[in-house]
Amino acid sequence: MQANEILSHFGLTHAGDHPVHSPIDGAEIGRVGYDDARSVDAKIARSVEAFHAWRNVPAPRRGELVRLFGEELRANKDALGRLVTLEAGKILQEGLGEVQEMIDICDFAVGLSRQLYGLTIASERPGHRMMETWHPAGPVGIISAFNFPVAVWAWNAALAIVCGDCVIWKPSEKTPLTALATQSLFERALKRFADAPANLSQVVLGLRDVGEMLAKDNRLPVISATGSTRMGRELAPVVAQRFGRSILELGGNNAMIAAPSAKLDLAQRAITFAAVGTAGQRCTSLRRLFVHEAIYDKLVPALKSIYAALPLGNPLEKATLVGPLIDRAAFENMERALASARDEGGKITGGGRALEKEFPNAFYARPAIVEMADQTSTVCRETFAPILYVMRYAKFEEALARHNAVPQGLSSCIFTQDLQEAEKFLAASGSDCGIANVNIGPSGAEIGGAFGGEKETGGGRESGSDSWKAYMRRQTATINYSDALPLAQGIEFAV
Ligand code: UN1
């Protein structure tokens, strides 16, 4: 299926002033119109109206809508996965994986719709019952990034919808078509569901200013935003200023410690998938590798030979493992990071533009391995590109300290067969990240766990575990079924 066919499959027309280009070859694959302040305002108003109806629908019934949406995703996995590849440039396997991630979170949310448990808490007053109830929070603004153009929305939306909220989605301006296609699948599910209010899910398109409108708006009690730390730093105070709640999933600078006992064959595969998968454009991509000196001279040359043979190319083709970067700016950032790493003494293998003749209007980059003596300021920055900084270490404690000595705290891992090292890595004094793995790379998390990280990663948690609580408001309710009015703390107040 080509872009045109896929877009008509989803009922999308080429309407609007803003062309959308595929990172595969730079070709225009569609056009969209942007929202202005008035249409954003009107959509938020409609979202509030929808919320007033939806919050009263029993949660298991709300789950039924998400179940139907999951069915639409299953039936259209191939078309949507392809569109993800066309619009975001990730290889087809990963495009399909992304849609699978949406299906998985739908299944999770359906089960959750019967488990939005509250508590009953012992009251200190006789004849009283105290409980904690979770109520829908309100319309949720979702701001998503180009690199996971649909899955991250689904993490938020599937939970928000079963929690009784509505969603209003501002996708990246680089990937509006996958958002519109997803919205059209959601609308198909809505038709089959029949009795949902209109505008339960809406899309707003545009640039940064549209995201700002969502962030500023009092009618959106929750803003979930995925993107750079810079974006989060600007957005979070705007949401906080009005006492809104933000769920932030920002930059990562994820590392692996490859210990002397690491199973090298597994480590090599994990490193390669995590460092070059999605062309290094996952927030969970592996960017820093600490290799013990005992295995350095085995592991690093082996990685270099794997890198030299990596199939770069059109991500729609089966054999390809590394597709293009999203755009010219991404390529230039990679070049800049490599140049400054070189200035800091880095030894670079790989890097540079590839396939320029075949794809003059696209930006393919050869993944780079950069051997660094120190963790310099360039290494401490997140560059959204396939650059792997490799550093040698002698002592586990020293590797761990350097591991944690960056501003970001998303994902982390250790490859070791040594139980003590593995446990130390997972202990309170171990990895300071939101995600910590043993003998697994830092990327490719399952939806069942809470996803997110600490420090400059923003502290938000999305997807599994009890992340749903962020989409609801907590109410403590106490009922007096006695004939007296005892006061808490035993206070006497006779009137
Ligand atoms: C992201 O890059 O924003 O763990 C999300 C992973 C994926 C999600 C990444 N499941 O790599």
Rounded Cα distance between 402 and 391, Å, is: 10
pLDDT score of 2: 83
Rounded Cα distance between 441 and 414, Å, is: 8
Mutate to test the pocket of ligand 1, among 102, 451, 467 (most ligand atoms within 8 A of CB): 451
What phi and psi values does residue 286 have, to the nearest 5 degrees?
Answer: -80, 125
pLDDT score of 72: 98
pLDDT in tens, 247-259: 999 999 999 999 9
pLDDT in tens, 341-370: 999 999 999 999 999 999 999 999 999 999
pLDDT in tens, 275-330: 999 999 999 999 999 999 999 999 999 999 999 999 999 999 999 999 999 999 99
User: In the predicted model, what is the mean pLDDT of residues 382-390?
Assistant: 98
Q: How far is CA 198 from CA 43, 206, 249, 353, in A?
A: 11, 22, 29, 47
% pLDDT > 90, the chain: 98
User: In the predicted model, what is the mean pLDDT of residues 74-96?
Assistant: 98
Q: How far is the CA of 120 from the centre of ligand 1 (A)?
A: 36
Mean of all residue pLDDT scores within the chain = 97
Residue 281 CA: nearest ligand 1 atom is 2
pLDDT exceeds cutoff 80 at 1: no
Structure tokens at 217: 């708006």
Q: How far is the CA of 446 from the centre of ligand 1 (A)?
A: 9
> How would residue 194 be classed by pLDDT, with cut points 50, 70 and 90?
confident
pLDDT in tens, 125-161: 999 999 999 999 999 999 999 999 999 999 999 999 9
Q: pTM, whole model, 2 decimals?
A: 0.97
Q: Is beta strand 167-170 parallel, antiparallel or unpaired with respect to 450-451?
A: unpaired
Q: Is 462 helix (H, G, I), strand (E, B) or coil?
A: strand
pLDDT score of 14: 76
Mutate to test the pocket of ligand 1, among 91, 284, 447 (most ligand atoms within 8 A of CB): 284
DSSP 122-181: --SSTTEEEEEEEEE---EEEE--SSSTTHHHHHHHHHHHHTT--EEEE--TT-HHHHHH
> How would residue 13 be classed by pLDDT, with cut points 50, 70 and 90?
confident
User: In the predicted model, what is the mean pLDDT of residues 392-396?
Assistant: 98
Residue 411 CA: nearest ligand 1 atom is 4
Give residue 114's Cα distance to chain centre.
Answer: 25
User: In the predicted model, what is the mean pLDDT of residues 51-65?
Assistant: 98
User: In the predicted model, what is the mean pLDDT of residues 258-281?
Assistant: 98
Q: How far is the CA of 248 from the centre of ligand 1 (A)?
A: 14
Sign of CA dihedral 60, 65, 68, 73: negative
> How would residue 15 be classed by pLDDT, with cut points 50, 70 and 90?
confident
94 is catalytic: no
User: In the predicted model, what is the mean pLDDT of residues 404-411?
Assistant: 98
The residue assigned the tokens 């540079």 is: 352
Q: Contact at 8 Å (CB) between 463 and 105?
A: yes
pLDDT exceeds cutoff 90 at 435: yes
Which are the contacts of 475, defined by CB distance < 8 A and separation ≥ 6?
A: 132, 133, 134, 135
User: In the predicted model, what is the mean pLDDT of residues 171-188?
Assistant: 98
| Pairwise pLDDT comparison (2 vs 127), residue with the higher score | 127
pLDDT score of 195: 86
Q: Which of 106, 166, 283, 413 is catalytic?
A: 283
